[in-house]
Structure 1
Amino acid sequence: PDVNNTVCTNHNGWISLHGYLAQWELTTLLDVPRTIEYLAYLGYQYLNDSQLSAITVTRDKKIDLDKKQTSRNVFRCHVMGAKGVGKTSLLQGHLNRNLRYVATLNKEHLSSFTINTVQVYGQEKYLLLHEVDVAVSDMLNPTEMNCDVACLVYDVTNPRTFEFCARMYLKHFLDSRIPTLVVACKTEHPAIRQDYHLSPAQFCHKYKLPPPQSFTCIDKVNKEVYIKLATMAAYPNLKRLVHMLLVQQNPLWLQEKIRHVRDIISRDDKIYLKIGLLAAALAGVGFIVYRMSSSSSSSR
């Protein structure tokens, strides 16, 4: 049953042609011998009665990084975050499923993988999302580190969730060549201050990461995050600024600044008087400069 929650389905819950092809890509990426076995069952024959002719072997990812280009069309994203931050919603949103639909699914039939196509600069790429169940104290094994892009997820309504992302990045991804995106889930709710010495926006700025990407799927799924992840996976050598410009960012940093100003106002009862006096002083200086410039022009 988990296959139906791994690829796209139609309104009846049946796997569509698009989902069927995506399932082949997933199986081939994770288990090539099984793909060859399936091809044999289906009677696939081409050259020398071998199923190997159906498999395309791409060059090593390290070579792609050195060459700064790749011929691959399937990219793997590992999704990590504390429990309850919204990782399942993020994975199911990749299949165009909103939160209301996800709530109707049997949790026992949910998959830790989802795969779908994403348009990257006009080209269709497959993006595989894999939820990695790991604690912040755990060391990631080579399989868990084997991805094209990492997605660190936190909940904007839970103040203890961003610390997980920060520690995971500093512990595993800071010195790696794996592009990393911080995703803020449940942004349909007001964000609260995280219990970490740096805000998510400050953390990303300090370590030269793209700004936190907002995500919500309560009704309509925000697809920008998948475009961002696929582009970072396909073009890991692009600079941070280019990744920032790929999609329109939800200004989480602006929300933090506004919240900071509100805190200042709430702590200082005389803040409006101070602002008014400052505005009056600036207006007075401007008027004096204007009169002086007018007098100088008249004397000429």
Structure 2
Amino acid sequence: MALAAASANLAGKQSLRVVVIGDPGTGKSSLVASAATERFPDEDVPGVLPPTRLPVDYFADRVPITIVDTSSSPEQKPKLIAECQSADVVVLTYACDRPATLQRLSSFWLPELQSLQLKAPVIVVGCKLDLRDEKQYSLEAMMEPIMGTFQEIETCIECSLFRQIQVREVFYYAQMAVLYPTAPLFDQETQALKTRCRRALKRIFILCDHDRDGALSDVELNDFQVKCFNAPLQPAEIAGVKRAIQDKLAEGVNDNGVTLTGFLFFHTLFITNGQMETTWTVLRKFGYDDELKFRDDLIPAIKRAPDQTLEFTSKTIDFLRGIFNMFDTDNDGALLPAEVEDLFSTAPENPWSSHLYENCAENNVLGGLLFEGFISKWALMTLLHPPSSFANLIYVGYSGDFDSAFTTTRKRKVDRKKQQTQRNVFQCYVFGPRGAGKTALLQSFLKRQPDAFSVNGRFAANTVELPDGNRKTLVMREIPEGDVGSLLSDKESLAPCDIAVCVYDSCDEFSWQRARDLLVKVAAHGKNTGYEVPCLIVAAKDDHGQSLMALQDSTRVSHGMGIETPVPVSVRLNDLNNIFCRIVNAARQPHLNIPETEAGRTRRQYRQLLNRSLTVVSIGAAVAVVGLASYRLYAARKSASSGE
């Protein structure tokens, strides 16, 4: 069965720019002239033709094509490079009657294109087919190693301009290379579907397998055909599909219908037979772009203030709990790395393979991700990049819309005024000098030993059970001392922060002095930008013995700033003084523990003095007004008495 692909411009291209390059005398300009006039040029063709536009109805897709001729002379190389860099597709020519020009493709032209790191596909075109000596070489034998080395080659074709053989086909293949490129779908070297293509097709298969029996029945195949190609399948065509698959791959079909293996194999056949448009039609019908990710227009634009965040709704939490249980195949309450990979096997890639998510959540002793860690990783992804979080929800099977998946939190400024917050996910920035114990604090949050890992700038995300029975998600982000300056150079850098924790080594007076400076910088930045955050001081390494000077000064500073006194903790002794509950409780009360700096205190005292002065002036003015009124009343009475 041949599935009919839609002829619409599915790639979203409004026009195509085809740049023709190659050795002198290989027929570049004649190829352009022949395509435009549909005949062999009678007169000598100029060395380089001006850009030539083919009629809009040249092909059924009705995509306007502009062909750009080029010169291969050394002095024109900058212009040739510029044209190639602006090309949608490059046509690289050689002369069929001059084998040396074919050899020049791999010795010069293709390496030159690779050095430019072009993303445009390449069509290799042999001109002057009518002059070729058939005994000179086998085209297939010559091109196979070249195409194996240079993956950017989309296809090869030979033509005769004199006899008008396959001239139109050259630009048809050029158009197809852009609208329906092979490179994102298929690896020519391994002759297999590329990973993203296989993952996208797997997701499509699961969506079409309505009864979840692991196979597409005749009814499901027909529904798939109608959705993608607007045409039903006849029973004989369905039987033909199954037979074509089963003849090549026995496990591609079972009693219930076409299996995932068979579905993937069938698309491999389409691609190897040059029918890329069929697979692309399927992919684009399900919302995929040329990079085999969801199109940008399918992800809603997120409008929120800098101090607002997104959180999952209860519906989304329930969905994720179901997905977690589904992929927890050994029912041990944790997802092993292989199970996590399987869960994301319908996404373009595992989003948690990024270093940002490495070791950021709690695992069990076997390395399995607990449900609390699973939800915490999703919460972290939502904080860092909400569109990615929503896209991955859809990739793994969520069927609701954006508004059903997320709720937008109230502005933190409003929370401060109302003296409460409704948030369930809190982000904590952890500041402190090098060696203060920041990393150990994050590791203890994940119930790990202090030497478990040592990568800076990471996150730790977990749930915290509070004394009142509520559970909140806390995301802790370590800010290396050297990064504080660049972080605070951004006016909105503290907007996503619900609470700042400043850590110092309690036995090191110098560590406290540096921590104090950081705390003042954070407090001043929040005051100056309007994104003030509660702050806590953590005196780490309490088991090493406290520096008396550091203890006294940190207590004095915390009192002076109007925040809680430093919380002593010892990670080594696992004496954490309930620090994570304290952090969450402080974040839940955003109007408290806002540090006041010396400058802020001076401004406050000035405002108080000004207010008192204004009050005195107001009282004096009021007394004067009352006195004047009394005098006028007295004068009026006296005048009345004289008149009598």
Q: What is the TM-score with the length of structure 2 in the denominator?
A: 0.34
Q: Which residue matches 2:371?
A: 17
Mapping 1:200-239, distance limit 5 Å: 200-222=554-576, 224-238=578-592
CA contact (8 A) 1:94 1:223 kept: no
CA contact (8 A) 1:160 1:194 kept: no
1:86 deviation in Å? 0.6
Q: Counterpart amino acid of 1:165?
A: A
Alignment length (residue pairs): 231
Q: Which residue matches 2:296?
A: none
1:114 and 2:463 correspond: no
Provide the C-alpha distance between the structure 2 equivalents of 1:127 and 1:195, rounded to a whole number of angstroms.
Answer: 29
1:218 deviation in Å? 0.9
Q: Which residue matches 1:28?
A: 382
1:169 and 2:505 correspond: no
Mapping 1:165-204, distance limit 5 Å: 165-174=515-524, 176=527, 177-194=532-549, 199-204=553-558
Q: Which residue matches 1:283?
A: none
1:129 deviation in Å? 0.6
Provide the C-alpha distance between the structure 1 equivalents of 2:469 and 2:409, rounded to a whole number of angstroms.
Answer: 21
Report the CA distance shift for 1:230/1:173 in structure 2 as closer, same or farther (over 3 A).
Answer: same
Provide the C-alpha distance between the structure 2 equivalents of 1:180 and 1:136, rounded to a whole number of angstroms.
Answer: 19
Provide the C-alpha distance between the structure 1 equivalents of 2:428 and 2:593, rounded to a whole number of angstroms.
Answer: 19
1:55 and 2:410 correspond: no
Q: Secondary structure of 2:556's match?
A: helix
Provide the C-alpha distance between the structure 2 equivalents of 1:119 and 1:143, rounded to a whole number of angstroms.
Answer: 30
Q: Counterpart amino acid of 2:428?
A: C
CA contact (8 A) 2:425 2:473 kept: yes
Over residues 25-79 of structure 1, what are the superposed CA-to-partner deviations in whole Å (9 max), with x where a residue is unaligned? Answer: 1111111011111012112113xxx344211112211122222222210011100
Q: Counterpart amino acid of 2:554?
A: P
Q: Counterpart amino acid of 1:133?
A: P
CA contact (8 A) 1:40 1:51 kept: no
Q: Which residue matches 1:102?
A: 450
Report the CA distance shift for 1:37/1:136 in structure 2 as closer, same or farther (over 3 A).
Answer: closer
Q: Which residue matches 1:264?
A: none
Provide the C-alpha distance between the structure 2 equivalents of 1:63 and 1:148, rounded to a whole number of angstroms.
Answer: 13
1:182 deviation in Å? 0.7
Report the CA distance shift for 1:106/1:78 in structure 2 as closer, same or farther (over 3 A).
Answer: closer
Q: Counterpart amino acid of 2:366?
A: N
1:73 pairs, out of 418, 424, 435, with 424
Provide the C-alpha distance between the structure 2 equivalents of 1:230 and 1:215, rounded to a whole number of angstroms.
Answer: 16
1:186 deviation in Å? 0.3
Which sits farther off after the overlay, 79-88 or 228-237?
228-237
1:159 deviation in Å? 2.1
CA contact (8 A) 1:155 1:184 kept: yes
1:44 pairs, out of 398, 407, 422, with 398
RMSD (Å) for aligned C-alpha atoms: 2.5
CA contact (8 A) 1:184 1:214 kept: yes
1:87 pairs, out of 432, 438, 446, with 438
Q: Which residue matches 1:145?
A: 494
1:158 deviation in Å? 2.0
5+ residue gaps, structure 2, are: 1-352, 595-644
1:4 deviation in Å? 5.2
Provide the C-alpha distance between the structure 1 equivalents of 2:547 and 2:478, rounded to a whole number of angstroms.
Answer: 25
Provide the C-alpha distance between the structure 2 equivalents of 1:162 and 1:102, rounded to a whole number of angstroms.
Answer: 21
1:143 deviation in Å? 4.9
Q: Secondary structure of 1:102's match?
A: coil
1:195 deviation in Å? 6.9
CA contact (8 A) 2:420 2:590 kept: no
Q: Secondary structure of 2:544's match?
A: coil
Q: Secondary structure of 2:421's match?
A: coil
Over residues 218-272 of structure 1, what are the superposed CA-to-partner deviations in whole Å (9 max), with x where a residue is unaligned? Answer: 14251511111111101122479xxxxxxxxxxxxxxxxxxxxxxxxxxxxxxxx
Q: Counterpart amino acid of 1:180?
A: C
Provide the C-alpha distance between the structure 2 equivalents of 1:17 and 1:66, rounded to a whole number of angstroms.
Answer: 35
Q: Secondary structure of 1:161's match?
A: helix
1:133 and 2:514 correspond: no
Q: Counterpart amino acid of 1:130?
A: R
Provide the C-alpha distance between the structure 1 equivalents of 2:436 and 2:419, rounded to a whole number of angstroms.
Answer: 34
CA contact (8 A) 2:562 2:593 kept: no
CA contact (8 A) 1:5 1:92 kept: no
Q: Secondary structure of 1:216's match?
A: coil
Give % identity: 29
Q: Which residue matches 2:505?
A: 155
Provide the C-alpha distance between the structure 1 equivalents of 2:395 and 2:516, rounded to a whole number of angstroms.
Answer: 47
Provide the C-alpha distance between the structure 1 equivalents of 2:377 and 2:492, rounded to a whole number of angstroms.
Answer: 20
Q: Which residue matches 2:627?
A: none
Structure possessing the higher relative contact order (Cα contacts under 8 Å, 6 or more residues apart): 1
Q: Secondary structure of 1:167's match?
A: helix
Q: What is the TM-score with the length of structure 1 in the denominator?
A: 0.70
Provide the C-alpha distance between the structure 2 equivalents of 1:143 and 1:14, rounded to a whole number of angstroms.
Answer: 36
Which sits farther off after the overlay, 24-33 or 212-221?
212-221
CA contact (8 A) 1:73 1:125 kept: yes
